[in-house]
Structure 1
């Protein structure tokens, strides 16, 4: 079976906090990838400087101190780290809940919390309890010292920007009705720049210390996260939704420095017209070359299925939703499930979901009633139907795929290493065997197996299942390589090891 990429691999698997380091490179926190990379802006070359197997779990923002040390907020476990110029990481604090925005002011260090009722605190790398400067933040995020010596920070939920003296005092509102603010920055001329986390990529510029004029430009970069200005006042932005690094001109024009792409992907689906959709954590994306298109910022999209003009998605954080691409509306079908992952649609329109955290497969009918189809699994990850409406479910922990016939589940294939995505085409079952990085084909009539493709760019299964919530915030989702069948018989696979979707086409004499 021949295969080709629907989109280019992603150099940055999401890009969050960014800051220039002492070496002149732009350092990028990759929250989902659990690593920090450095970008040479002249060449676009990306180097991983803090790998995913280090002490940082989910780096979200970063700043550099006067001695060249890098300070990093590790959002999910609630830690703040110092990485010294030699590359040695030490823990600064674990007393901050959901730490996000971070700023260095001389030798002083400040962090805020991305939660309702959050705090802005000063931390002390040499020891000492945090000192609270402000509380009641409506989800803080990226902040910076302004020309007037005050710290500026957003309230993400209320569309406001505040400032406060590093020495304390009452916070002061400086900008209201700002579009979905996620980061506050100042350019080299002292103009306040506020980034929007929305789909349009809105940047709001406020001349606080001059005319007071407010100017808005639209960049088209969905899910802006952070910004940094170089010595010549060029503005570079990151995107939590699609990664990459983009230069943004004052009029909103953009220049891609590091290509944006997929931050996952997880599930993949193909509609009747051949449009491919990927569940890409923060969005539903359409993988294409030269650019991945954000169809909708649909936060926490993981599993995905297409049927009769609708998209059905799961979130590993517990819910199932139905999205109408034409109307751009979304309906919640179920909540409170335990890590629902793969999803498929039965012939009668019923949704069938692999509830990995509960070890069962559930059905959701047209009235949103949830019933158990089968249970007793260890870790069911994906589901698929054959032409006879028999359901197949992969169990990653057991290393097997089962068929559900209305009675006890029947083992169809066993001895696998981390089976994940499954799909049926004709009389063959296809399985993404993530532990061996290959795609297997199994004849349903004879049980005969063959390797359809190998050395695939699928991520290695994690040895532990991440917790869904820490301090009330979602953790990092579990990797999941989905699989889907297109109307022409091609298979589409989530190559989550590189951030692409592969199209695998049948070759003569197979299938």
Structure 2
């Protein structure tokens, strides 16, 4: 049974999208802070980039830069919707080591509003981002997309995904795994660049709503149950353990650090926590998107 986590940092403004930086630090986006920040092992928090809008996910690039899925300025919790003071069109942003923030995607597939949610690099360096579409209007929500972004910032291909595509990561089998939040399912796609195969249902959470997730080096899958206040641990498609995080935490996303700990962002309590699991991290995929395109 997994023990209680250690609180690494507090006072974060609706954290999401944790990403290991390779030096023991973890990058997190702060949705309500409209920024991406660095959390050092001693809990020191340093702003890396001022993003505006609603930073929702992050991925580390090949040259130390970060890529941020920015939903344009929207967050949800029990009290209703939050709208960012600085609204923008949903896009992927590049945050360079000097703090420069630039949009690197033009118009995404489908009608606006675009709500980029999470992103990851594939084995070939293609960047994949989920667009959750107009989830602020759940009664009339449209299908979203998972979009492949080439190194020049162009859309290399996409697949339509209904019911709010959310977290995304590559599995040990080389397929792209994706959370379909409104069905509680995790799907998997065979992908090559911008070519997507038909999705396969891998599992369905017993409760909560799948948000962000990650794999460790042994292929164990950790899924943040978000509104269910739990992390569901799967091995070979079978539920291995349920880690209860406590009422009012809202675990939003997770990653495995080089130290073998599972790092989890708690949106509502504003914390980054670490579970000392002693697991092997998965080898990261990386790449770069170098084009600087006008925000559309």
Instruction: Report the TM-score when normalising by structure 1.
Output: 0.43
Picking from 129, 132, 135, the partner of 1:114 is: 132
What secondary structure, in the 3-state scheme, does the structure 2 residue paired with 1:226 have?
Answer: strand
Partner of 1:135: 160
Matched, 1:65 2:93: no
CA distance in 1, matches of 2:239, 2:91: 38
What corresponds to 1:233 in structure 2?
Answer: 260
Q: Which has the larger radius of gyration?
A: 1
Deviations for 1:291-316, whole angstroms, at most 9, x for unmatched residues?
Answer: xxxxxxxxxxxxxxxxxxxxxxxxxx
Q: CA 1:125–1:88 in 2, change beyond 3 Å: closer, same or farther?
A: farther
Output the CA distance in 1 between the equivalents of 2:127 and 2:206: 27
Match of 1:157, SS? helix
The equivalent position to 1:218 in structure 2, one of 230, 241, 244, is 244
CA distance in 1, matches of 2:205, 2:40: 36
- List gaps (5 residues or longer) in structure 2: 1-8, 73-88, 109-113, 134-141, 278-296
Distance 1:219 1:124 in 2: 37
Q: What secondary structure is seen at the aligned counterpart in 1 of 2:53?
A: coil
State the partner residue of 2:103: 91
In 2, the alpha carbon distance for the partners of 1:48 and 1:136 equals 33
Structure 1 equivalent of residue 39 of structure 2: 39
Change (3 A) 1:10 1:192: closer
Please identify runs of 4+ aligned residues in structure 1 that moved more than 3 A: none
Number of equivalenced pairs = 235
Q: Which residue of 1 aligns with 2:226?
A: 197
Unpaired runs of 5+ residues, structure 1, are: 1-8, 251-511
Task: Measure the CA separation in 2 of the matches of 1:195 and 1:101.
Answer: 13
Q: Tell me which residue corresponds to 1:170.
A: 198
2:178 is the counterpart of 1:153 = yes
TM-score (norm 2): 0.73
Q: 1: CA distance between counterparts of 2:157 and 2:245? A: 38
CA contact (8 A) 2:49 2:100 kept: no
Q: Distance in 2 between matches of 1:50 and 1:127?
A: 20
- In structure 2, C-alpha distance between the alignment counterparts of 1:184 and 1:130, rounded to whole Å: 24
How far, CA to CA, are the matches of 1:31 and 1:88 in structure 2? Answer: 18
Distance 1:185 1:178, change over 3 A: farther
Cα shift at 1:127 = 3.5
| Separation (CA, whole Å) in 2 of partners of 1:127 and 1:16 | 24
RCO comparison, higher one (Cα < 8 Å, 6+): 2
Aligned equivalents of 1:12, 1:215: Cα separation in 2:
28
- C-alpha separation between the residues in 1 aligned to 2:99 and 2:122? 21
What per-residue deviation string (whole Å, max 9, x for no partner) do you get for residues 331-363 of structure 1? Answer: xxxxxxxxxxxxxxxxxxxxxxxxxxxxxxxxx
Q: Alignment partner for residue 104 of structure 1, among 117, 121, 126? A: 121
After TM superposition, give the deviation of residue 69 of structure 1 in Å: 2.0
Counterparts of 1:290-309 in structure 2 under 5 Å? none
- Aligned match of 1:183: 212
The match for 1:425 is none
- 1:107-139 per-residue CA deviation (whole Å, 9 max, x = no partner) reads 21000112341111101241423411x213311
Match of 1:13 in 2: 13
CA distance in 1, matches of 2:171, 2:261: 18
1:224 CA displacement: 0.7
Deviation at 1:92, TM superposition (A): 1.1
Answering whether residue 48 of structure 2 is matched by residue 49 of structure 1, we say: yes
Shift of 1:249: 4.7
CA contact (8 A) 2:226 2:250 kept: yes
Q: How far, CA to CA, are the matches of 1:85 and 1:149 in structure 2?
A: 29
Q: CA deviation at 1:10?
A: 5.6
The whole-number CA distance in structure 1 between the counterparts of 2:206 and 2:97 is: 37
Query: C-alpha distance in 2, partners of 1:231/1:129?
Result: 32
- Give the Å deviation of 1:57: 2.3
C-alpha displacement at 1:22, in angstroms?
A: 4.1
Question: Any idea what the Cα deviations from partners look like across 1:191-223, whole Å, max 9, x if unmatched?
Answer: 011111125x211111127xx453222121621
